[in-house]
Amino acid sequence: MTWVVRGPDSQLQQAEKKLYSRVRRVLWDYEPLRASHAEIFIDIDGQRVRLRGRVRSLPQKLIAEMLISRMRDVGTVSNELIADPEVVRAVADALAQDERTAAYVLRVDARHGLVILRGEVPTETVQQAATDIAASLPVVSSVRNQLTIGGETRPPVALSAPAGRV
């Protein structure tokens, strides 16, 4: 995968084209972002900049927004980038809240929306449930199932909501 910056879906006015080029250059010049092979979509509407796509880390997401918000001629920045740790958290939370998978220790890794599930589950039914749960999340682009079959079946786990959540 290479570093990709995608242009806006609509036609831009001349001033917007210039702003798009400057935003693209600022993001390209940020080496950690470029080296991570991020895929970023840049939308420009007047002085509003919208960033979409995927980055490897939360700091990259925050720094991208900060770099753009400090630019001359940028009014507002809408940061819709998805960082891999956000994907891991969403999948891990969903697996922990489902009684079919909550009893098992499953490792979740993500890279640009591709989720890799690892661990041991007792049956193909649990394996398929884990894959289906991960694939159903909007932040997940695809799932690679590397779960192995083995071990003992555990009773379903009824989880309570985490403290502070209603």
pLDDT tens digit sequence for 53-75: 999 999 999 999 999 999 999 99
pLDDT of residue 19: 92
Q: Which two tokens stand for residue 96?
A: 């922990």
Look at residues 89, 83, 64, 68 and name the one whose alpha carbon lies nearest to residue 20.
68
* Residue-range domains of the chain with CATH: 4-74 (no CATH), 85-149 (3.30.1340.30)
Report yes or no on whether pTM surpasses 0.95. Answer: no
Q: For 123-143, give one letter per residue: b (16+ CB within 10 A) or e.
A: eeebbebbbebbeebebbeeb
Look at residues 4, 24, 97 and name the one whose alpha carbon lies nearest to residue 67.
24
140-156 pLDDT, tens digit per residue, is 999 999 999 998 888 87
Of 38-42, 101-105, 111-115, 157-161, minimum mean pLDDT range: 157-161
